[in-house]
Amino acid sequence: MTVIDNDWSAPSVAAPLRNRAGLEIMPLKSPIVFLLSLFVLVPSAVCAKERSEAEARKVAQRVLARAIVIDTHADTPQMMLDDNYDLGDPASPYMISIPKMRAGHLDAEFFSIWVDVDWPKQDLIHRALDLIDVVNEQVARHAGDMEMARTADDIERIHRAGKLAALMGVEGGHIIEGDLRVLDIYYQLGVRYLTLTHTKDDELGDSSTDKPQWNGLSELGRHAVERMNRLGMMVDISHVADKTFYDAVAISKAPVIASHSSCRALCSAPRNMTDDMIRALAKNDGVMDINFYEGFLDPAFASAYKAIEPQMDADLKAAREKAKQEGKRLTYGEEMKIQQQYAAQLPRPSFEKIADHIDHAAQVGGVDHVGLGSDFDGVDGFVPRGMEDCSKLPNLVIELARRGYSEQDLQKILGGNLLRVMRQVEQVSQQLGRTVYGRR
């Protein structure tokens, strides 16, 4: 479905009213008439005619030949570090690998620098630095295929060279250990976004899955957003409480992102975004990158998952205790294997559910504010049928093309919107002079 985002403003007698698509509307001479006309003139979307399967495949092929496909969240570094996983493995059991990226036309990946909220507090930064190191090590090992990117221009240059771009985002404000100077260190090491919270409240603000501690952003969190604006680091509001979201949008001088979030109107997980939040993000000129996790896409799956969750958690706890007794820590990959055994017991929605959430976000906030944030390798195998790994991304592009999205809109969703936000964040940083509390 092609979406035209209507951005109406109060008319003047001197100029015609236009929407973002450039369509001219006759000037309205009365504020009352103008307000009444909103009920008639502001549709949420304009739908193009659906395409046949054959037509959709041709459109998808053309789009994938031109687009820069960007995914804003994958948790693969855990396996790189703990399981010695090589991204070049042609028989990779994981969702992200170089061969799978090539097959799926995935051109740029933001690798998540995530540390569990229950990790020893004094070791959070050390663990993050180890994850950053292993990403750089993998990119260096596969220099013929990959290159680190730090800017939007880098992504485009790397794409023109026929290589894959690797980027990083730190997932959780707890990973700076309450010291804003760590943001500068992460930025210098190539990190280009920070997720303000993870599953628990931290020093920066309240999480969507914890009891409110700060009533939104803390004072330190406000300073963190300001500092990130100066650095040129994107503010990521996935995982945050609703009030934290609104605080971040109000404070940030640059567009913010939701690196891996879906629509609460379609699936009522607290991690998902309400329609009002989607509209606020669009007004901020940010981008919402849709999460592929089944529990955030499909209420039926979420309900079935709750039924098996206690036993699965008990098995995980027992496995962790056994590893601890052996003087080890259960790796992320080992945990995923246990969770995948349970995944096989559940009703699996199809990948079309992802397209449903893209549709909804585009209708509510506009097609300029939607992207892809898969959460590959971080969703414990709970991904829809037809989207088992990144090689399956063309399935989603074909489905969106079938629903009538224009080629231009598809390119925006697949990566163009994120590139725009990166550039805007970079520009705000330049305007602020990259100063931190008055120092350059």
CB atoms under 10 Å from CB of 49, counted, come to 7
**2 and 69 together in one domain:** no
Residue 337, in any domain of the structure? no
**Does residue 437 sit within a domain?**
no
| Same structural domain, 58 and 36 | no
Q: Is residue 162 part of a domain?
A: yes
Residues 29 and 113 in one domain: no
Residue 340 lies in a domain: no
pLDDT on residue 328? 85
CA dist., res. 421 & res. 287, Å (int) = 7
Residues 23 and 94 in one domain: no
Q: Is residue 85 part of a domain?
A: yes
In a domain, 327, yes or no: no
Same domain, 75 and 141: yes
Stated length of the chain: 440
Residues 382 and 418 in one domain: yes
Residue in this structure with the two tokens 């008055």, named with its chain if needed: 438
Are 154 and 23 within one domain? no
Q: How much of the chain exceeds pLDDT 70, in percent?
A: 88
Pick from 47, 64, 80: which residue ends a domain? 47
pLDDT at position 5 is 32
**Residue 342 resides in a domain:** no
Residue 433, pLDDT score: 87
Strand partners, 168: 111, 191
Specify whether 163 is located in the same domain as 235: yes
pLDDT for the residue 224: 98
> Could you please report the per-residue DSSP string of 76-116?
THHHHHHS---TT-TT--SS--HHHHHHHT--EEEEEEE--
Q: Which residue has the tokens 């459109």?
A: 59
Domain containing 38: what range?
A: 1-47
Cα dihedral 427/431/434/439 (nearest 10): 180
Model pTM score: 0.86
Q: What is the pLDDT of residues 157-200, one digit of tens each?
A: 999 999 999 999 999 999 999 999 999 999 999 999 999 999 99
Each residue of 28-37: pLDDT tens digit?
Answer: 334 443 333 3
Give the helix/strand (H/E) hosting 59: helix 53-66
Q: CATH number for the domain including 364?
A: 3.20.20.140
Res 435: pLDDT: 55
Residue ranges in the chain whose pLDDT is less than 70 = 1-47, 434-440
Tell me if 440 is assigned to some domain: no
263: CB partners within 8 A, 6+ apart: 272, 273, 275, 278, 290, 357, 360, 361, 364
User: Could you say which DSSP state residue 436 is in?
Assistant: B
The CA angle 51-43-24, to the nearest 5 degrees, is 95
Which uninterrupted H or E stretch holds 319? helix 299-325
CB 359 within 8 Å of CB 262? no
274 with 353, same domain: the answer is yes
Amino acid symbol at 221: G
pLDDT of residue 383: 93
pLDDT in tens, 39-94: 333 333 434 789 999 999 999 999 999 999 999 999 999 999 999 999 999 999 99
Are residues 34 and 70 located together in one domain of the fold?
no
Q: Bin 348: left if φ > 0, else alpha if -120 < ψ < 50, else beta.
A: beta
Residues 89 and 167 in one domain: yes
Total domains in the chain come to 2
Q: Quick one: 37 and 57 in the same domain? A: no
